[in-house]
Amino acid sequence: MAENSESAFPEGFLWGGATAANQIEGAYNEGGRGLATSDFARWVPKEQRISGKATSWATYEMLDDMMAHPENYNFPKRRGIDFYHRYEEQLEALAGMGFTVFRTSISWSRIFPNGDDAEPNEEGLAFYDKVFDKCLELGMQPMVTLCHFDTPLHLATEYQGFLSRHTVDSFVRYAETVFTRYKDKVKYWLTFNEINSSLGNPYTCSGLVLHDDGTPNPYKEQWQAKYQCAHNQFVASALAVKKCHEIIPDAKIGNMTCRLENYAETSKPEDELQVLFEDHFNWFYSDVQAKGEYPYYMNRFFNDYGIKIQMEPGDEEILKEGTVDFLSISYYMTYIMRYKGSPVPKPNGSLVTDIKNQYLEVSEWGWPIDPIGFRITLNHIYDRYHLPIFIAENGLGAVDKVEADGTINDDYRIAYLQKHVEQLGEAIKDGVDVFGYAWWGPIDLISSGTSEMTKRYGFVYVDQDDFGNGTLALSKKKSYDYYKKVIASNGADLSID
């Protein structure tokens, strides 16, 4: 795209970045905070990671061992990047790029240490007052996710997370508390991060703890429990939407799904049928949250697999009344589908497809890089819902090299950003209503899936390794000035020097 060409992006388009409390804050046992499921996400050497499985899941047996022998484990999310103490300096670094939006989440167990305490923790509430005040002072709208992969541990171990309606009630009370407290400061909210990952990562996404059944992945087939969790999260989300509208009438509240765009491996109709099946498993979540009812296509799957969703009286009305104002997505990659003979979704929660797309490069973590897929998926979403869309995450995790003179020449990140923003602009020209773009991890943080620091997404480098060694000093990567230029030109100038 030529310099000074007219911008595809509307005036007031929100530019910025996204983070999550459990990946940045650290201070896991300070300020009255209670334990969360994410505090048991451990670092393990790459070769010991179970194939395709994140290091952030846990069974009752694993939790028992981690609690009895914490000295045997490295829990990087307990450290984060020490945002809890360094938020001012870190937010200033982000604002230096001209951000107008900063997405983060509230750690539920900072507000209610057990998730269901009688009173909220004032120290936790006061911390977010300071964070949001600082954002606003720096010209950044906070966009806040209520629950980003960190259910309070007590609710997970005692109630199996969102399998229980007690967790739904606790969530709604927590949501009401933070809406009331921050009503003058936060006008953009999201309910659950990547709610559709509850199928693959039920511990992370729904706080669902199960017993080890002796297989490498005991979560493999637990459809009944997982879909019941999803239902309870839909109800919790819808109730939060209603509360948000009541308490902050000028706020907008959205959902958040991990967008999984699929291509058929061949033109064989069976492969295309598999794409349809996979699409259904993914659209299911946004269909319920945006349309307020269960889609027709899930009935057959539920019947065939004996899944019975337990609804309480009034649930259907709650879903109808609690539809979201906008949709938000994370977009990282696209997938190839080959007919499997049945409509069973990918079981292991891995984002990485085992079928390689010969036309796409992959990241160092094997994630296919597909900017055109971004445009395609945005068109599909808008065509389906006709609701405004916010890009809650998009980015590239890579190993960055610090040169002897301290510079970090992350040209790969610049190229990724350029191509994705270009295709985002194309989608907007197509007529898709997108109102903001948040790069995932604009400051290096702890990886969600693998709990490592080595996988860096940031424009701002953080001096820390996987074991917490380092000064936590910040430095700008080459991509910092590039994103700054993109933002300053409202997406019109994507030229690379």
- Alpha-carbon torsion 377, 379, 380, 381, what sign? positive
Among 25, 194, 271, 426, binds ligand BGP (CB under 6 A): 194
Q: How far out from the chain centre does Cα 248 lie?
A: 24
The angle at the Cα of 199, spanning 155 to 152, to the nearest 5 degrees, equals 15
* Stretch touching ligand BGP by CB under 6 A, among 259-267, 320-328, 440-448, 483-491: 440-448
Q: Which of residues 4-23 bind ligand BGP (CB under 6 A)?
A: 20, 23
* Stretch touching ligand BGP by CB under 6 A, among 212-220, 311-319, 442-450, 484-492: 442-450
Pick 107 or 177: Cβ nearer ligand BGP: 107
Pick 175 or 258: Cβ nearer ligand BGP: 258
Pick 178 or 258: Cβ nearer ligand BGP: 258
448 is a site residue for ligand BGP (CB under 6 A): yes
Q: Which of 25, 261, 393, 426 is an active site residue?
A: 393
Among 104, 141, 330, 418, binds ligand BGP (CB under 6 A): 330
Which one-letter DSSP state was computed for residue 368?
A: B
350 is a site residue for ligand BGP (CB under 6 A): no
418 is a site residue for ligand BGP (CB under 6 A): no
**Least distance (Å) from ligand BGP to the CB of residue 70?**
23
Q: Which of 194, 261, 265, 452 is an active site residue?
A: 194
| CA–CA dist 3, 488 (Å, integer) | 12
| CA–CA dist 449, 40 (Å, integer) | 12
Which one-letter DSSP state was computed for residue 440?
A: E
| CA dist 300 → 311, 342, 343, 495 (Å) | 18, 12, 10, 50
191 is a site residue for ligand BGP (CB under 6 A): no
* Stretch touching ligand BGP by CB under 6 A, among 127-135, 298-306, 412-420, 443-451: 443-451
The yes-or-no answer on residue 426 being catalytic is no
Write the binding mask 379 to 398 for ligand BGP: x where contact by CB under 6 A, - elsewhere: --------------x---x-
Q: For the CA atoms of the chain, what is the radius of gyration?
A: 21
Q: Are 76 and 466 in contact (CB under 8 A)?
A: yes
**Least distance (Å) from ligand BGP to the CB of residue 484?**
23
| CA–CA dist 337, 262 (Å, integer) | 6
Token pair 């201070």: residue: 27
| CA–CA dist 125, 286 (Å, integer) | 30
DSSP 272-336: HHHHHHHHHHHHHHHHHHHHSS--TTHHHHHHHTT------TTHHHHHHHT--SEEEEE---EEE
Among 58, 81, 236, 258, binds ligand BGP (CB under 6 A): 258
Q: Are 305 and 223 in contact (CB under 8 A)?
A: yes
The yes-or-no answer on residue 123 being catalytic is no
447 is a site residue for ligand BGP (CB under 6 A): yes
- Residues near ligand BGP, by CB under 6 A: 20, 23, 193-194, 258, 330, 393, 397, 440, 447-450, 455
Question: What amino acid positions are annotated as catalytic residues?
Answer: 194, 393
